[in-house]
Amino acid sequence: MRFPYLVAFTALTVGAAVVASAQAQSASVSSTHKKVFGYQDTQTGTFHPLVHAEPETTPAPITGKYVLTFTITIASTFPAKSVIVCAADIFAASINDTTGAGVTYEEIATTDVTLAGTTATCKVTVPYSWAIPAASGSVQNQVYGTYSVTVLDPATTSITLASVEGLRSSTGDLLIPTTVPAHGATTSETVDVTL
Q: Which is nearest to 185 in space by CA: 133, 129, 105?
A: 129
Domain boundaries, the chain: 2-49, 62-194
Which string of DSSP letters, residue by residue, matches 15-38? HHHHHHHHHHHHHHHHHH-----E
Among 117, 1, 130, residue whose Cα is nearest residue 65: 130
pTM for the model stands at: 0.67
3-state class (DSSP) for residue 128: strand
* pLDDT, tens digit only, all 195 positions of the chain: 454 554 444 554 545 554 455 555 555 544 556 677 777 888 888 877 776 555 556 789 999 999 999 999 999 999 888 999 999 999 999 999 988 889 999 999 999 999 999 999 999 999 999 999 989 999 999 999 999 999 988 876 555 555 556 789 999 999 999 999 999 999 999 999 999
